[in-house]
Amino acid sequence: MNKILMFDALREATDEEMLRDPRVFVIGEDVGHYGGSYKVTKGLHAKYGDLRVLDTPIAENSFTGMAIGAAMTGLKPIVEGMNMSFLLLAFNQISNNAGMLRYTSGGNFKIPLVIRGPGGVGRQLGAEHSQRLEAYFQAIPGLKIVACSTPYNAKGLLKAAIRDENPVVFFEHVLLYNLQDNIPNYDYVLPLDKAEVVREGIDVTIITYSRMRHHVLQAADTLVQEGYDPEIIDLISLKPLDMETICKSVKKTHLVVIVEECMKTAGIGAELIAQINETVFDELDAPICRLSSQDVPTPYNGSLEQATVIHPHQIINAVKSIITTKV
Cite the active site residues.
60, 129
Instruction: Fill in the DSSP letter of residue 97.
Output: I
Indicate the helix (H) or strand (E) that contains 5. strand 2-5
Instruction: Classify residue 107 as left (phi > 0), alpha (psi -120 to 50) or beta.
Output: left
**Backbone φ, ψ for residue 195 (5° rounding):** -80, 165
Is the preceding omega at residue 312 within 30 degrees of 0, hence cis?
A: no
d(CA 109, CA 187): 29
Instruction: Fill in the DSSP letter of residue 179.
Output: -
d(CA 88, CA 63): 13
Tell me if 221 sits within 8 A of 228, measured CB to CB: no
| Order of strands across the sheet that contains 196-199 | 196-199, 230-234, 204-208, 256-263, 289-293
d(CA 27, CA 167): 15
For the chain, the residue count is: 327
d(CA 77, CA 108): 18
**Strand 180-183 versus strand 230-234 pairing type:** unpaired
Distance of CA 18 to the CA centre of its chain: 22
Task: Give the max Cα distance, the chain.
Answer: 63
d(CA 100, CA 109): 10
